[in-house]
Structure 1
């Protein structure tokens, strides 16, 4: 695919969101929409539950680690070819999955699907960095993208169950492939190359300059804190609300969806919040909201029975903190690296995924996952670490002035 010269994006914000959001949505759906049929897949494919678990675990790993390949590649050859090839691979793998009969080809195609999703995500967020880094619309774009990453796990399994009920398990993968093809057709004439022209033909400067940046680490930690808090909530909520509070599956789904709704509503106000508080101020306030939410969860854990009031209401406040934080963390982490935005984006998302997956899982396993303790511990501990990192950046900036 020939490399194009960068062109100015002149799309209105609603049009840009309509062009950007589906690729983010598809990459996330590839993981979560498949969950309702996982228990039946060993029988369907004639394999063990362990092999089917690999189709979930490897998808998540490749989605994060694959970005370390596609980030530098997008800096070298451009965002557009990485996006187009990723979408094509994702669509092809999705359709092939729908017609797979045995386990090992199914696993190989899930890996291919994850590789395509990883490429799409890198190209997507590198393009956002190229186009919106110095524009106020960036807060709206980033908060929407990150809110989608959070609420898709809440809604995708419901969609997957409905599709599987009407069309069988194969329909789930067809439902992933069709919109990928549609978006590819839309993006081909509209997704202009945005890679900075000075990067043409360059071999890149590698990961070390990025990893030496205190701002990169502070804001990547903030992103991992926010998204990890939702991950721990996602991991413990079924056990707390269904096993502990006695909610039905429908009641649980509706309660869970209110947290996603709180995030969506907050997204509409993120631009004004950031304009008033700035990047470090927004992160600091987001962390304070996480700490207050953790304190409310602690009160509910100590003095109330598991319930909507004790577990979900504090999460509304936490949801606001998550959105306020994620609206600015990418700009904060990547602002020094406009010429290697793809590489920086890849590191940013890979490291935060490790924070979320490893640290979040440790809290769930070490503390009692049937209670709010993992959520309280993760949100409070990581928010304190992030506040310390942001405070260090602020002091460093004052000393340099």
Structure 2
């Protein structure tokens, strides 16, 4: 009885701090995910020496967003954010377990191990399309409307801190442990958000106007949002297609500009994460400005990324490569997190699930296309030329969109 009372007290304490618990759970699972992503990337590159397979692995993580985020947004608005979030978290766990077990079962068969890792990534990518979309709307049930933009920016900071911690964890773990243990850490990390959402979170009840919209289609939602938000979503997609490929080719960049060992990969990814954290902190500090002047913020993000890519084309030194990696982290994080913040802040509640789906199509889906595009260009033209071409294209896209950025945003 005493034990049960003690457990109830701990649970009540956690429930009073549910906002913080939700952020911590997201951070823990993200650290495990980044450790797993780095481990998979290094293992695939080490076993096959084929950069295109790295691109395929990242595409399996991000491309499902193109095909499924529309359905994920519709399902979130129809069934509610909470049930979709819970179900998708179980499938994330399943995908991570698939990679870990498949890698062990296929020991001695390289093609089988690579297939198992990429197959697990595909399952995670499919589940992520639903998890990310539903989580964005779920946040609106946890925080007040006035603090929504700032809380979403905190998610960006947590995500990017995990990006800083996860890759070194993955690199060191690969050095010290068997790869299957590293992949298992990824799977175990998903248990934390599952526990928090099921036992700790107490989202507010929906008002009558916020009840699931069963008849609203994605096309109607697209027409229902403002022309400004449609324009922002389209530009975010274009910028992602041109410039959001670095997660797929980080091992290639590390070997080309930093060093041939896993620790070099950790240094490069840490530099990217530092830039991403900086962007997240600035967006949290100036969240109202992000919502108030969204076009200017997105143009800045795309331009910084493009300039850094052009810098890589100029054969930088090791230290300069780390600095350019930080700029890429800053630009891409500002673009992706900014798109999420703007979409949720400017969209009416009944459209937010679908708007979140559209944002995931633009960012993660665009990133999947970008990774395949970059992988193909690198294979055909070489790393430096590919980086230069994509950087110039990104800068041109930002300049063209900049012509429409004179008027401040309005709800």
TM band (smaller chain)? 0.7 to 0.9
How far off is 1:188 after superposition? 0.9
State the distance in 1 between where 2:119 and 2:154 align. 33
State the distance in 2 between where 1:234 and 1:111 align. 15
How far off is 1:321 after superposition? 4.6
Residue of structure 1 equivalent to 2:394: 379
Aligned pair partner of 1:370 in 371, 384, 409? 384
State the distance in 1 between where 2:137 and 2:147 align. 17
Residue of structure 2 equivalent to 1:73: 75
Kindly report which structure 2 residues correspond to 1:125-204, keeping only aligned pairs within 5 A, or say none: 125-132=136-143, 134-136=145-147, 138-142=149-153, 144-145=155-156, 148=159, 152=163, 156=166, 158-193=168-203, 196-197=206-207, 198-200=209-211, 202-204=213-215
Aligned pair partner of 2:220 in 209, 213, 220? 209
Compare 135-144 and 358-367 and name the one that shifted more: 358-367
Q: Residues 10 and 24 of structure 1: is their aligned pair in 2 closer, same or farther, counting only changes over 3 Å?
A: same
Aligned pair partner of 1:218 in 195, 217, 231? 231
State the distance in 2 between where 1:381 and 1:151 align. 32
State the distance in 1 between where 2:158 and 2:232 align. 17
8 Å CA contact retained: 1:229, 1:378: yes
Q: Residues 33 and 280 of structure 1: is their aligned pair in 2 closer, same or farther, counting only changes over 3 Å?
A: farther
1:115 aligns with 2:126: yes
How far off is 1:18 after superposition? 1.8
CA offsets 1:33-58 (integer angstroms, 9 cap, x no match): 4222225778xxxxx99999866543
Report how many residues are paired: 378
Q: Residues 352 and 256 of structure 1: is their aligned pair in 2 closer, same or farther, counting only changes over 3 Å?
A: closer
State the distance in 2 between where 1:287 and 1:163 align. 38
How far off is 1:62 after superposition? 2.8
CA offsets 1:37-88 (integer angstroms, 9 cap, x no match): 225778xxxxx99999866543433355333332222222222222222222
Residue of structure 2 equivalent to 1:18: 24
8 Å CA contact retained: 1:79, 1:194: no
How far off is 1:239 after superposition? 5.1
How far off is 1:339 after superposition? 0.9
Residue of structure 1 equivalent to 2:354: 343
Compare 169-178 and 61-70 and name the one that shifted more: 61-70
Residue of structure 2 equivalent to 1:262: 275
8 Å CA contact retained: 2:294, 2:409: no
Residue of structure 1 equivalent to 2:363: 352
State the distance in 2 between where 1:158 and 1:53 align. 21
How far off is 1:336 after superposition? 2.5
CA offsets 1:127-148 (integer angstroms, 9 cap, x no match): 1245458324523533643773
8 Å CA contact retained: 1:86, 1:120: yes
* C-alpha RMSD of the superposition: 4.3
How far off is 1:345 after superposition? 0.8
8 Å CA contact retained: 1:26, 1:117: no
8 Å CA contact retained: 2:258, 2:264: no
Aligned pair partner of 1:82 in 76, 81, 84? 84
8 Å CA contact retained: 2:229, 2:343: yes
CA offsets 1:333-366 (integer angstroms, 9 cap, x no match): 3423311322221121113333333356546755
How far off is 1:259 after superposition? 3.2
2:213 is paired with a residue whose SS is coil
Residue of structure 1 equivalent to 2:291: 279
Q: Residues 211 and 306 of structure 1: is their aligned pair in 2 closer, same or farther, counting only changes over 3 Å?
A: same
2:383 is paired with a residue whose SS is coil
1:216 is paired with a residue whose SS is helix
Residue of structure 1 equivalent to 2:101: 99
Q: Residues 132 and 222 of structure 1: is their aligned pair in 2 closer, same or farther, counting only changes over 3 Å?
A: farther
State the distance in 2 between where 1:54 and 1:170 align. 21
Aligned pair partner of 1:36 in 29, 36, 42? 42
Residue of structure 2 equivalent to 1:5: none
2:394 is paired with a residue whose SS is helix
The runs of 5 or more residues in structure 1 that have no matched partner are 1-8, 43-47
Q: Residues 204 and 34 of structure 1: is their aligned pair in 2 closer, same or farther, counting only changes over 3 Å?
A: farther
Aligned pair partner of 1:313 in 305, 323, 335? 323
CA offsets 1:220-249 (integer angstroms, 9 cap, x no match): 245446656763445566656643x56444
